[in-house]
Amino acid sequence: MPATDLDSERDYADAQFSAQGVFRTERSKAVCAYFEPGQFIPVHAPDSDVTVVVQSGQGIVRDGDTDHEVEPGSVVSVPAGTDRGVRATAGERLEAVLVTAPPPTDAEHDPVRRGLRDGEFEP
């Protein structure tokens, strides 16, 4: 069983959020995600459940039509097929662990790539 911690995986990027994969099987995927202030994972709706556990910082997690304000200790789960996204609050870094089950397909991440390319949280 893999074991790590957020300090060991920490990697921030200027252009967009950073996701460090720490575990993956056919059934689930876990990543440590690092966001500079204002960075985001664009809204998308893959056919997988996701749970976001905030370790530090503040931001929002989109769950359908609801934006949950999150802080350290917040846990938000979004069911498969529901719009979801994550955005760090301006002025503060955000660190979170995201677990998806099953892992989204490459095609399901097309809206994420488009949103990052175009700088749009809601592509």
9-118 domain in CATH 2.60.120.310? no
Q: Where are the domains of the chain?
A: 9-118
Query: Residue 1's pLDDT band (boundaries 50, 70, 90)?
Result: low
Residues pairing with 30 in the sheet: 23, 99
Q: List, for residues 12-57, the tens digit of each pLDDT value.
A: 999 999 999 999 999 999 999 999 999 999 999 999 999 999 999 9
Burial of 73 (0-12, 13-18, 19+ CB in 10 A): exposed
